[in-house]
Amino acid sequence: MNKHVIVIGGGPAGLMASIAAAEHGANVTLLDKGNKLGRKLAISGGGRCNVTNRMDLQELIAHIPGNGRFMHSPFSVFNNEDIITFFEGLGIELKEEDRGRMFPVNDKATTVVSTLLNRVHALNVNIRTNTGVKSLQFNEEKVHSVQLQNGETLEADAVIVATGGKSVPHTGSTGDAYPWAEEAGHTITELYPTEVPITSNERFIKQKQLQGLSLRDIHLSVINPKGKVIKTHDGDMIFTHFGISGPAALRCSQYVVKALKKFSVKTIEMQIDLFPATNKEMLFQNLVKRVKEEPKKSLKNLLKGFVPERFLLFMFEQLDLDSTQAANTFSHDRLREIAGFCKAFSFKANGTLSIEKAFVTGGGVSVKEVEPKTMQSKKKQGLFFCGEVLDIHGYTGGYNITCAFSTGYTAGKAAGELVSSL
């Protein structure tokens, strides 16, 4: 046998799988339908490439809401610290930013891509770009070849599928592998957008009253029809012409999608807490104190800097307050309304942008049908899956790329060892 591994897809998972397979004794061919490799990687982290996250493992898994527990096994093979060691070993200096996010010191994703490509070349991986795959060929037990779109058939001892999901399709992630996986007997769980901006038909959104306004260090919650909190995320957010975006909104998005479906409703309530570290009573007392100190000041001037000015003016309008009046003309009940508005500004979300506009795809090849220590299919010998094609997804902040590198390395190592033993 020629110990040949074919890797389909040149994103983070595919590049790492190619490297690991070659390092473990395989002859590797890397196929990608695009004209260059690492396209999604080159735009990740706003073009800076958040290569991983330095949280401890339990916390890391808690930030992977889509089947995070499955990652215990791949992380036992290649975890976030191994990713850091790997890149530093190839000469990329990394730095740690807020919430454990790791970036190259030079803030250039292109450096990460070129370093991975240099390693792939150094290991004599045969790279074929502009090479679309039509199907995988199986017998009863195993995968044995890959049929290309041009009609060519490539024999293989193992095939690693690293084609991504359906998000950011201009980078090549267009869901190609789902039919191949189904042909091999795999289940594709329902696909949905995650880490995606949230949409709303509220009048203030349609009228763009708050468009472009950023709110810092807030709590954003998704509320079920009975008024119970489904999920709360902290961080920053921004109002857009169609709804809301920013880190807190992206993290809440999958819960909006699931709640709309679960409760069969057209809209779901969301709440913004602008003062998560302060309870409503304390906020009210703060307002009372301000009024006592400067009773003759207009409410508008008294509350200058209390919240961003555009939000302040919006709140006065929503609560029907004449903000030019002296502060001491407002009753305690009215001050409590202001405190309540700041603690729980509520609006209805009606969905999210499409899966193509999402950063990450929810759903994919069922992890119940994949061996977690090797990423090998439980349906066909020699068939491996890694990265976003799997039903695994994390929040933004380096968690998805960590899963891609970890599952990619695990699949590549196992495939390399498998074909070397043949």
Domains and CATH numbers, the chain: 4-190+363-420 (3.50.50.60), 197-353 (no CATH)
Among 185, 164, 183, CA closest to 175: 164
Average of pLDDT values for 76-95?
A: 97
The answer, yes or no, to whether residue 49 has pLDDT greater than 80, is yes
Rounded to two decimals, the pTM is 0.93
pLDDT of residue 1: 52
Q: Which residue type is seen at 413? A: K
pLDDT of residue 99: 86
pLDDT of residue 396: 87
Please name every residue paired with 390 in a beta bridge, in sequence order, or none if there are none: 365
Q: Read off the pLDDT of residues 110-143 as tens digits, 9 standing for 90 and up.
A: 999 999 999 999 999 999 999 999 999 999 999 9
Q: Read off the pLDDT of residues 369-391 as tens digits, 9 standing for 90 and up.
A: 999 999 999 999 999 999 999 99
> Which residues fall within 8 angstroms of residue 77, CB to CB, at 6 or more apart?
373, 406, 409, 410, 413
The answer, yes or no, to whether residue 88 has pLDDT greater than 90, is yes
Tokens linked to 111 = 């450096």
Confidence band for 193, pLDDT divided at 50, 70 and 90: very high
